[in-house]
Amino acid sequence: MEKVFQYIDENSEQYLNWLIEACNQPSVSAQNRGMIEMKELVKSFLSKVSAEIEEIETERYPIIYGEINNGKEKTLTFYNHYDVQPDDPIEEWLSEPFKVEIREGKIFARGVADNKGNLLARICAVHAYQQVYGELPINLKFVFEGEEEVGSPHLEYFATNFPEKLKTDAMIWEGGTRGVEDRRLNVGLGVKGISYLELVCRGANTDLHSSEAAIIENPAWRLIWALNTLKDKEENILIEGFFDDIAPLSEKEKKYIQSMHFDEEEIKELYGIKSFLKNVTGERLKEVLTAAPTCTICGISSGYIGEGSKTVLPSVAKVKLDFRLVPNQTPERVKELLRNHLDKHGFEDIGILQSHGIHPFNTNPEDPFVDVVLDSISEVYEEKPVILRNLAGSSPMYKMLKNTNIPAVQIGVANQQSNYHAPNENIYIDDYIQGIKVTASVIKNFR
Amino acid sequence: MEKVFQYIDENSEQYLNWLIEACNQPSVSAQNRGMIEMKELVKSFLSKVSAEIEEIETERYPIIYGEINNGKEKTLTFYNHYDVQPDDPIEEWLSEPFKVEIREGKIFARGVADNKGNLLARICAVHAYQQVYGELPINLKFVFEGEEEVGSPHLEYFATNFPEKLKTDAMIWEGGTRGVEDRRLNVGLGVKGISYLELVCRGANTDLHSSEAAIIENPAWRLIWALNTLKDKEENILIEGFFDDIAPLSEKEKKYIQSMHFDEEEIKELYGIKSFLKNVTGERLKEVLTAAPTCTICGISSGYIGEGSKTVLPSVAKVKLDFRLVPNQTPERVKELLRNHLDKHGFEDIGILQSHGIHPFNTNPEDPFVDVVLDSISEVYEEKPVILRNLAGSSPMYKMLKNTNIPAVQIGVANQQSNYHAPNENIYIDDYIQGIKVTASVIKNFR
């Protein structure tokens, strides 16, 4: 690999220029801004590695599908996206969002971290490998969508209707970060799912004077009682069947979870708390954070909530509940269990609105591809990686891979201060170059 | 009494003009508007009945104290106030708030119901009685304050520092209403008290991403659990000692409570409810509405309460609680009991802020003065009165009478659509005239 790494170093300016070119092109899917130009630019990059390119049409922005078929045994797919978040609040940017500026070794631009830096790193890695060795040791596929920042509305359609294009032995997924202080690369094996629901409890058809509370039902109290049946004071979720579907952690997953850096004292001081939930500490704390489902009140409201007092009997009470799901829970099942639970406890009248739901997604840590990635990382980075069973955010991976056993691993070129979705998005030039190298290593090691 | 009633009828125009003169004079204590002029006007009315007048100075507006001492055995006191509410929203008035307009037999003006109509009715009754019989059969006192609409901040001072001026055998208190359809006069014997508290529960020092909920405490959940210990699903208030101080209802109180008109079907339809709390109906329903204390969530809020979803772990949760108190509960004791309760259940960290507290006040229904008033009513009104143990609103009566056994009964000239504190405040001319007559009857009957 030394030759490929050397080639990458020698051509780092060219690879940086490709990224700058990509970042200078706006591509805001939510605002239909520059999307056609960006699509053409992505195709031009893919043509540099001689990929066969196809546009998968959707109602809005096509998925750019690329293939390099060398007739090899193994196929690896890169999933990335060419759309970016809007750039507002524009006034908080120190340089123009769509005109790259390099300051203190960092590249500043909207989308450089999420996700153009990764998209280009994949292409550059292939390019470098090809320049040094000519032929690749594996087949490659590229799935570059243009709608990730608007919820990937056509990824499921793609998976369902083009199964041959999704035929692959493994996937490198989107992006990832590196620790700022410890410089350890985060390797993502999955995400928790989410079921975000709103419960609505109604009383009289209008707010009333609170003196009427002696004889007229208060929906706020009913909601309190209903919520109290969901989770007890000891933080146990009481919904019948809620834990039944959960897959147990394998020994490897437990081991990977412990690779996480978590400074308890630092976090406690940062948030001004005396202890963690249920006084959990140490290995168990990491396990809970990573692998426990949650039932969280994200918002509750009823009646008068302004300053001072108003003597009102509310007519409606609402709560927003966020369930973080772990394999193999599903948003649909959780909603069903919640409905059954409320009915059983006499709260048939409390309505449930599903705000959104995302399935959890996890790669089997026993899959050999995980070791391929970990080995490749050790060739490029000095620091030992952190292996994350679940990232904090959400991901469209489930939509694409739900009926497959395809392992998908996330590694990327950003860092924990890259300002995803925020002003002054940035990555380190060095991380970009190392991202190219690690991708090249994966190509080499995955046979 | 026929002579007095006849005199009142013959001089009704004059008595109406006195009221118009009073209403045309603004007297908004909250805005320091016209208060001095109004004070002088009230004194000029009192001089028409030859009362000895004294101003009790306070930091803002004096209490006008008047006395007619005939050396009789019994003394009756009229409590009224000469200040009124502000007139906004001014654009919703059909005529000028401080320029009386008479439409369809009604007098429209700010303060005509609350409380100038009553203040003048008392004076006119004395005047008419004096014109017909010369001397009054009892001694009279007038306590007319100018700060009722700003919370009667000096009434307690008055009671404490001028006990000889409060020496009286009975009191007619402020105002009251008449049913719109059934025309029955409401006779008020008291008000519930109130303790309005805010509970505050805090978690981390900042809102966090809801994925952190796996390991960091959520103050919204803690508040739910705390509230759940206050009142159970069967609507029982569980605060230890909460019911201990409550005075039992006498037979007469029970009887009076049943005089209340309460059309269950109409109310259920009006509010769109299927049943009343705990499915209570009939006599028990009236008793609960009148004599049961309450613990009401007037408002609860935590986290994100806007449209759509936000995955947030809240840092603070708040609830506004309104306890309606009955004799002999007190706001101070209820707050103390609540504190003890929360501490006992492990919620020492939840803070309690007292927003405001008013003691309940009730006249003993066995007091002979109540019968004097009821007899007087029967001389003037065809319809049988409704005797209310507790009115819905609050009252400063407790501040004045707390250490006495002075019976205080509320009757007045307004009706249930008089728009207290609202635009287009009004009373019927007929109700004003009848209010003069019933006051005259009380003067005659109270010996």
Interface-testing mutation among B267, B287, B297, B301, with chain A (most A C-beta atoms within 10 A): B297
**Amino acid B425: pLDDT:** 95
Chain A residue numbers with beta carbons less than 8 Å from the beta carbon of B321 are none
Q: Respond yes or no on whether the N-terminal peptide bond of residue B328 is cis (omega within 30° of 0).
A: yes
pTM: 0.86
**Amino acid B391: pLDDT:** 82
For chain A, give the mean pLDDT.
95
Task: State the DSSP string of A285-313.
Answer: HHHHHHH----EEEEEEEE--SSS---EE
Q: What is the mean pLDDT of residues B348-361?
A: 91
Choosing from B332, B358, B384, the residue where a domain stops is B358
Interchain CB distance below 8 Å, B320 and A301: no
Of the pLDDT bands very low, low, confident and very high (cuts 50, 70, 90), residue A447 is confident
pLDDT digits (tens, 9 = 90+) for B309-326: 888 999 999 999 999 999
Measured CA distances, B119 to A267, B108, B171, B414, B436 (Å): 66, 16, 13, 12, 10
- β-strand partners of A191: A361, A391
Distance from C-alpha of A211 to C-alpha of B409, rounded to nearest angstrom: 21
The answer to whether residue B278 is domain-embedded is no
**Amino acid B296: pLDDT:** 97
Nearest to B215 among A215, A218, A280 (CB): A280
- Pair A351, A432 in one domain: no
**Amino acid B57: pLDDT:** 96
Q: Is B191 exposed, middle or buried (0-12, 13-18, 19+ CB in 10 A)?
A: buried
Choosing from A335, A358, A381, the residue where a domain stops is A358
Q: How far is A272 from chain B (nearest CA, A)?
A: 6
The answer to whether residue A267 is domain-embedded is no
Q: What is the mean pLDDT of residues A321-326?
A: 95
The answer to whether residue A260 is domain-embedded is no
Q: What is the mean pLDDT of residues B118-129?
A: 98
Of the pLDDT bands very low, low, confident and very high (cuts 50, 70, 90), residue B301 is very high
pLDDT score of A261 more than 90:
no
pLDDT digits (tens, 9 = 90+) for B327-353: 999 999 999 999 999 999 999 999 999
Give the 3-state secondary structure of residue A64.
strand
**Amino acid B420: pLDDT:** 87
The answer to whether residue A284 is domain-embedded is no
Interchain CB distance below 8 Å, A215 and B304: no
**Amino acid B77: pLDDT:** 98
Chain B residue numbers with beta carbons less than 8 Å from the beta carbon of A310 are 298-299, 320
Q: What is the mean pLDDT of residues A334-355?
A: 96
Q: Report the percentage of chain A scoring pLDDT > 70.
A: 100
The answer to whether residue B287 is domain-embedded is no
- Pair B48, B108 in one domain: yes
- β-strand partners of A33: A28
Cα pseudo-dihedral A246, A248, A253, A255, rounded to 10: 130
**Amino acid B141: pLDDT:** 98
The answer to whether residue A154 is domain-embedded is yes
- Pair A187, A197 in one domain: no
- Pair A225, A350 in one domain: yes
Which residues, in sequence order, are CB contacts of B241 under 8 Å at separation 6+?
A: B337, B340
Q: What is the mean pLDDT of residues A172-195?
A: 92
Chain A residue numbers with beta carbons less than 8 Å from the beta carbon of B151 are none
- β-strand partners of B78: B142, B172
Fill in the DSSP letter of residue B214: G
Number of domains in chain B: 2
- Pair B85, B170 in one domain: yes
- Pair B23, B101 in one domain: yes
Structural domain containing residue B183: 2-191+361-445
Chain B residue numbers with beta carbons less than 8 Å from the beta carbon of A318 are 305
Interchain CB distance below 8 Å, B294 and A214: yes
Interchain CB distance below 8 Å, A203 and B273: yes
Of the pLDDT bands very low, low, confident and very high (cuts 50, 70, 90), residue A181 is confident
- Pair B229, B300 in one domain: yes
**Amino acid B355: pLDDT:** 79
For chain B, give the mean pLDDT.
95
Interface-testing mutation among B194, B263, B300, with chain A (most A C-beta atoms within 10 A): B300
Phi, psi of A110 (to 5 degrees): -65, 130
Nearest to B272 among A205, A231, A272 (CB): A205
- Pair A396, A409 in one domain: yes
pLDDT digits (tens, 9 = 90+) for B18-53: 999 999 999 999 999 999 999 999 999 999 999 999
Interchain CB distance below 8 Å, B232 and A209: no
pLDDT digits (tens, 9 = 90+) for B214-272: 999 999 999 999 999 999 999 999 999 999 999 999 999 999 999 888 999 999 999 99
pLDDT digits (tens, 9 = 90+) for B52-106: 999 999 999 999 999 999 999 999 999 999 999 999 889 999 999 999 999 999 9
- Pair B181, B303 in one domain: no
Residue among B178, B192, B200, B245 nearest B411 (CA): B178
pLDDT score of A199 more than 80:
yes
* CATH code, domain with B354: 3.30.70.360
Chain A residue numbers with beta carbons less than 8 Å from the beta carbon of B303 are 297-300, 320
* CATH code, domain with B369: 3.40.630.10
> Mean pLDDT lowest for which of A224-228, B259-263, B271-275, B278-282?
B259-263
**Amino acid B235: pLDDT:** 96
The answer to whether residue B263 is domain-embedded is no
**Amino acid A402: pLDDT:** 87
Interchain CB distance below 8 Å, B305 and A301: yes
Interchain CB distance below 8 Å, B297 and A289: no
Interchain CB distance below 8 Å, B233 and A346: yes
- Pair B79, B126 in one domain: yes
**Amino acid A227: pLDDT:** 98
Choosing from B309, B334, B358, the residue where a domain stops is B358
The answer to whether residue B406 is domain-embedded is yes
Chain A residue numbers with beta carbons less than 8 Å from the beta carbon of B310 are 298-299, 320
Structural contact between residues A294 and A327, judged by C-beta atoms closer than 8 angstroms: no
Distance from C-alpha of B62 to C-alpha of B154, rounded to nearest angstrom: 9
- Pair B205, B347 in one domain: yes
**Amino acid A9: pLDDT:** 98
Total CB pairs under 8 A between chain A and B = 207
- Pair B162, B27 in one domain: yes
